[in-house]
């Protein structure tokens, strides 16, 4: 891998955005990279959407992904992939991995705004990306392991399978193992493996 790899993770509170960030950071560390992350805490978390950043490479200064410089966007909510486009661009070959799960917000109805349909979202992303993959991770995770909260780890497996992540399966699994308490490891490994499977 040349230069710095920039990841933007977007999702709602409770979807496991921070968990995903911490696992990825740990995996990048295990792979021998310098790592910087940016988290969101406090009121900005409440009910709304949070955006976290992860950057790894030989030597990383800032923890913030610049506009247009993301190499990978993982959006745990469908429409938020659009908001992440500011970080994405053709020159950066941004790949999008989007969970087709939708979270609506009261403000939309107060302002009479409509949730965009899939076509509009795909079209919006197109200008800013190399490739985008949509997957119903929340449903898949629920079907496979009976727990919607493993959707984040399922997406991690999927990102690896799509070739979106310059991190080895071993490092990712080792990070998952380190992060979760022993009793939750198996269920998360199962979700990860499922994401990796064709």
**Phi/psi at 106 (5° precision):** -50, -35
Q: Which is nearer to other proteins, 68 or 166 (CB)?
A: 68
Provide the minimum distance between the beta carbon of 40 and other proteins in the complex, in angstroms, as a whole number. Answer: 7
Among residues 33, 1, 7, the alpha carbon closest in space to that of 21 is found at 7
Provide the minimum distance between the beta carbon of 120 and other proteins in the complex, in angstroms, as a whole number. Answer: 8
Largest Cα span, the chain: 49
Beta-strand runs (E) in 3-117: 5-12, 34-38, 49-57, 72-75, 95-99
Q: Which is nearer to other proteins, 105 or 161 (CB)?
A: 105
Q: Are 73 and 8 within 8 A, CB to CB?
A: yes
Q: Which is nearer to other proteins, 161 or 172 (CB)?
A: 172
Number of H helices, E strands in the chain: 8, 6
Provide the minimum distance between the beta carbon of 178 and other proteins in the complex, in angstroms, as a whole number. Answer: 7
Provide the minimum distance between the beta carbon of 129 and other proteins in the complex, in angstroms, as a whole number. Answer: 12
Q: Which is nearer to other proteins, 80 or 161 (CB)?
A: 80
Residues of the shown chain interacting with other proteins in the complex, contacts defined by CB under 8 A: 13-14, 21-22, 25-26, 29, 34-49, 60-64, 66-69, 79-80, 82-83, 85-86, 89, 91, 103-111, 113-116, 120, 124, 127-128, 138, 145-149, 178-181, 187
Provide the minimum distance between the beta carbon of 187 and other proteins in the complex, in angstroms, as a whole number. Answer: 8
Q: Exposed, middle or buried by CB within 10 Å (0-12, 13-18, 19+), for 163?
A: exposed
Distance of alpha carbon 131 from alpha carbon 193, whole angstroms:
22
Provide the minimum distance between the beta carbon of 96 and other proteins in the complex, in angstroms, as a whole number. Answer: 13
Distance of alpha carbon 196 from alpha carbon 125, whole angstroms:
24
Distance of alpha carbon 101 from alpha carbon 111, whole angstroms:
22
Q: Which is nearer to other proteins, 38 or 100 (CB)?
A: 38
Q: Which is nearer to other proteins, 147 or 162 (CB)?
A: 147
């Amino acid at each position: 891998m040349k230069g710095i790899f920039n990841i933007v993770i977007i999702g709602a509170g409770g979807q496991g955005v921070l968990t995903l960030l911490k696992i990825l950071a740990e995996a990048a560390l295990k792979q021998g990279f310098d790592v910087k992350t940016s988290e969101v805490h406090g009121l900005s978390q409440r009910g709304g959407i949070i955006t976290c950043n992860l950057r790894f490479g030989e030597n990383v200064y800032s923890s913030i992904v610049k506009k247009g410089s993301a190499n990978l966007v993982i959006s745990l909510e469908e429409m938020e992939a659009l908001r992440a486009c500011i970080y994405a661009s053709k020159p950066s070959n941004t790949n999008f991995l989007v969970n087709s799960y939708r979270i609506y917000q009261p403000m939309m109805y107060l302002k009479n705004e409509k949730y965009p349909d899939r076509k509009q979202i795909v079209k919006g992303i197109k200008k800013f990306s190399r490739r985008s993959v949509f997957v119903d991770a929340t449903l898949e995770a629920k079907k496979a392991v009976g727990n919607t909260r493993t959707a984040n780890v399922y997406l991690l497996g999927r990102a690896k399978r799509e070739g979106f992540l310059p991190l080895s399966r071993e490092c990712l699994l080792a990070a998952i193992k380190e992060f979760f308490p022993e009793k939750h490891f198996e269920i998360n490994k199962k979700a990860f493996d499922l994401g990796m499977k064709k």
